């Protein structure tokens, strides 16, 4: 788990269009990462 104020590790994730996006693509910008794990479940 990350602590507030710590740097996030490098990662790559698909965007809403399925294209891969790297955290480093946003270097020098503010980034908000939102995860909604139940979005891909039936519950």
What is the model's pLDDT at position 24? 95
Domain ranges of the chain: 1-43
What is the model's pLDDT at position 28? 92
What is the model's pLDDT at position 43? 64
pTM: 0.59
Segment 1-43, tens digit of pLDDT: 778 888 889 999 998 899 999 999 999 999 887 777 777 777 6
SS3 of residue 19 by DSSP: coil
What is the model's pLDDT at position 17? 94
Report the alpha-carbon distance of residue 23 to residue 43 in Å, rounded.
30
Query: Hey, what's the torsion of the CAs at 39, 41, 15, 24, to 10 degrees?
Result: 90
> How far are the Cα atoms of 1, 33, 38 from residue 24, in angstroms, in the given order?
20, 13, 27
């Amino acid at each position: 788990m990350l602590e507030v104020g710590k740097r996030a590790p490098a990662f790559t994730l698909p965007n809403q269009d399925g294209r891969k996006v790297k955290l480093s693509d946003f270097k020098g910008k503010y980034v908000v990462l939102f995860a909604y794990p139940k979005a891909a479940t039936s519950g």
